[in-house]
Amino acid sequence: MTVRTGPHTRDDSADRARAADAALAEVLLTPEGRAEPYSRYKRLRELDPVHHSGFGMWIISRYDDVDALLRDSSVGKDVRLFMQGRFGGDWEEHASLRRMGTSMLWANPPEHTRLRRIVNNTFTVRRVAALEGFIEKLADELLDPIARAGGGDILNEFCYPLPLQVIAELLGVPQRDAPSLREPMRDFQRTFELGLTADELLQADAGAEFSDEYFRGLVAAKRAEPADDLLSALIAHEDDDGGKLSEIELIGYCNMIMGAGFETTTHLLANGLNALLSHPDQLARLRADPELVEPAVEEILRYDPPVHLVLRMNAGPVTVGGVEIPGGQVIATILAGANRDPDRFTDPERFDIGRREGLPISFSAGIHHCLGWALAKLQAEVVLRVLLRRFDHMELVAEPVRRPRLTLRGFETLDVKTVEGDRS
Amino acid sequence: MKVKYLSDDYFNELEQRAGKEEERPGANIGAQYVITDPPEAGDIRYYLKIEDGRIVQARRGALDEPSFTVTMSYDSSVRLQEGELHPATGFATGELQVSGDKASLLTMIPVFQSSAYQALIGDLRTMSEY
């Protein structure tokens, strides 16, 4: 339980804000902070949980505050405010940034409500559940060469291709085409991160243009020959007044679903494997009791989530944790910090796969709650079951290399040694 | 006109072009830079003095009490000016190292991201000889 102290003097508040900025600077500006951000989130949460940072952005790090803000209907997204602040007035000249300006991810009601309702009606529990067998078979196929070699870079050889091929299967992208979308999608996703050079922005533009063109062709192919997939269902959708989705809207859905459903799950799987292999006692516990797979996935999502922060903008003033934030601000909610709030989770720095204390906030909350949460969890659960079935032993053989990113936190490589069990 | 990168002439040009950044009251910083392994002998030290968000002085040399010190190799500094390395990535990977009051560096992010500062660096890029 966090001890709340009495009112602070102005000097005291300024000191705390400065110390909170120092913690934030370590996360943003040092390799040590990128490698281990959690102790810095803790300092932020304790020093100034609703923090107006030195560079202007508000930073929210307590679970209840993050949850309340994300559910607050007066807080939304303002793509122009954000893009102009970050990329300047000519941001719409870039295909990758323009795409975000038209994405459901950046939309507000009532447009968001319309787009979300349509995709909710097609991205159904039934459609996700039907993928379980495909995921298990694919996981086994992708693990075969790793098993034969006695190990490998499980991030690049397994955690990348699996979600890419799963989301392709869901959407209706032919499996033979899925690998060609990996690099363009990754280049585009780079726009979510701090620190993008002019060359990288051009690469992101090229990635966006490549996938737009690819999906334009796919939409035409599915119109001509519908199948039992999400894109065909979206094409078949009719509004109450009989209206159909436009080509641009359909391409937007394809990009959003592929983009949001691919690398996020890659890093969920890799961060989870790293957590388990770094805590052999928890891995042994899971092996002894496979019923723990479901809570283990929840704990992985809490302990080291793939998405560390999401942004919101407020048109008018909003009060968070007793602090009034004036209108027109960019607000970062630190999901990964909120997940370690001791007011919400007991002994939050401990990795405990038997923890049953409710859901972490890793899939965000409110109207932008992750559309693909059930698919992400299903993949993680199936992967853990397959790994436990296939391998009697797994261990890290080298210190995993973190990539220097924060919005999508993961690794560059994850080298493991595996010992296959007797499958006879 | 061409100037040698990080020479006195270079900083003279920087200083003359500076001051158009948006005013940010209270953003007063002394930023010290140390560039290691330059073509010339020894490290290069230079500093920027920023008052209310505007660069008011850019010179070779050392400040007595800098707010923070950024250290990087000459190669990294060239890549930074040429736009091949983003400072956020440089700091995150350790290619750029900051010591001193890291919080004060945060307050400079809006200054360094501003279109006025980017235009200034763009001008210097076109006139620099390495």
In this complex, which of A28, A197, A405 lies closest to B85 when CB atoms are compared? A197
What's the first-to-final CA gap in chain A, in angstroms? 51
CB atoms within 10 A of CB A237: 18
Q: Would you say A199 and B84 are in contact if contact means Cβ atoms under 8 Å apart?
A: yes
Mutate which: B22, B82, B91, B96, vs A, most A CBs within 10 A: B91
Residue A115 above 50 pLDDT? yes
Mutate which: A15, A18, A27, A30, vs B, most B CBs within 10 A: A30
Q: Which helix (H) or strand (E) holds A153?
A: strand A151-153
Please enumerate residues of B whose Cβ is less than 8 A from a Cβ of A.
83-89, 91-94, 97-98, 101-107, 109-110, 113, 115, 118
Residue B94 region by backbone torsions, left for phi larger than 0, else alpha for psi between -120 and 50, else beta = left
Q: Would you say B89 and A195 are in contact if contact means Cβ atoms under 8 Å apart?
A: yes
Mutate which: A197, A202, A401, vs B, most B CBs within 10 A: A197
Chain-centroid distance of CA A370 in Å reads 8
Give the β-pairing of B128-129 and B3-4: parallel
Chain B hits for A194, CB-CB cut-off 8 Å, are 88
Chain A hits for B103, CB-CB cut-off 8 Å, are 18-19, 21-22, 24-25, 54
* pLDDT at residue A423, as a whole number: 58
Length of chain A: 424
CB atoms within 10 A of CB A3: 5
- Stretch A244-267: mean pLDDT, rounded? 91
Burial A367-385 (b: 16+ CB within 10 A, else e): bbebbbbbbbbbbbbbbbe
Work out the pLDDT band at A5, boundaries 50, 70, 90: very low
CA of A412, closest CA in chain B: separation in Å? 13
Contact check, Cβ <8 Å, A29/B110: no
| ipTM value for the complex | 0.90
- What tokens does B75 get? 């190669």
% of chain A exceeding 70 in pLDDT: 97
Work out the pLDDT band at A1, boundaries 50, 70, 90: very low
Distances (CA, A) of B47 to A246, B28, B78: 55, 13, 16
Tokens 């102290």 correspond to what residue? Answer: A5
- What tokens does A71 get? 């559910």
Greatest mean pLDDT among A110-124, A198-212, B44-58, B101-115:
B44-58
* pLDDT at residue A144, as a whole number: 97
* pLDDT at residue B108, as a whole number: 86
Chain A hits for B110, CB-CB cut-off 8 Å, are 55-56
- Stretch A117-124: mean pLDDT, rounded? 87
* pLDDT at residue A2, as a whole number: 41
From chain A residues 144-203, the ones with a CB under 8 A of any chain B CB are: 194-200
Chain B hits for A31, CB-CB cut-off 8 Å, are 92-94
Work out the pLDDT band at A120, boundaries 50, 70, 90: confident
Closest CA to A245 of A255, A257, A254, A236: A236
Chain B hits for A22, CB-CB cut-off 8 Å, are 101-103
Give the β-pairing of A415-420 and A391-396: antiparallel
* pLDDT at residue B61, as a whole number: 97
- Positions of chain B with pLDDT under 50: none
Residue A287 above 90 pLDDT? yes
Residue A298 above 50 pLDDT? yes
CA of A30, closest CA in chain B: separation in Å? 5
Tell whether the torsion through CA atoms of A44, A47, A53 and A59 is positive or negative. positive
In this complex, which of B94, B102, B110 lies closest to A25 when CB atoms are compared? B102
Please indicate if any CB of chain B lies within 8 Å of the CB of A332. Answer: no
* pLDDT at residue A76, as a whole number: 84
In this complex, which of A31, A54, A197 lies closest to B103 when CB atoms are compared? A54
DSSP code, position B34: E
* pLDDT at residue B88, as a whole number: 87
Q: pTM score, two decimals?
A: 0.90
Work out the pLDDT band at A7, boundaries 50, 70, 90: low
Residue A167 above 60 pLDDT? yes
Chain A hits for B86, CB-CB cut-off 8 Å, are 195-197, 200
What is the C-alpha to C-alpha distance for residues B16 and A422, in angstroms, rounded to an integer?
74
Closest CA to A361 of A62, A100, A92: A62
* pLDDT at residue A10, as a whole number: 67
CA of B113, closest CA in chain A: separation in Å? 7
Q: Which residue of A has its CA nearest to B94?
A: A31
- Stretch A113-127: mean pLDDT, rounded? 87
Average pLDDT of chain A is: 91
Length of chain B: 130
- Stretch A13-24: mean pLDDT, rounded? 92
Work out the pLDDT band at A110, boundaries 50, 70, 90: confident
Residue A57 above 60 pLDDT? yes
Chain B hits for A89, CB-CB cut-off 8 Å, are 115
Between A115 and A382, residue with greater pLDDT: A382
Chain A hits for B115, CB-CB cut-off 8 Å, are 88-89
Distances (CA, A) of A119 to A112, A245, B5: 11, 11, 54
In this complex, which of B94, B105, B107 lies closest to A31 when CB atoms are compared? B94
Residue A234 above 70 pLDDT? yes
Q: Which residue of B has its CA nearest to A32?
A: B92
Between A3 and B39, residue with greater pLDDT: B39
Closest CA to B18 of B56, B52, B68: B56
Contact check, Cβ <8 Å, A25/B89: no
- Stretch A189-215: mean pLDDT, rounded? 85
Closest CA to A45 of A405, A409, A358, A340: A340
- What tokens does A232 get? 């065909």
What is the C-alpha to C-alpha distance for residues A17 and A25, in angstroms, rounded to an integer?
12
Please indicate if any CB of chain B lies within 8 Å of the CB of A217. Answer: no
Cis peptide preceding A110, ω within 30 of 0: yes
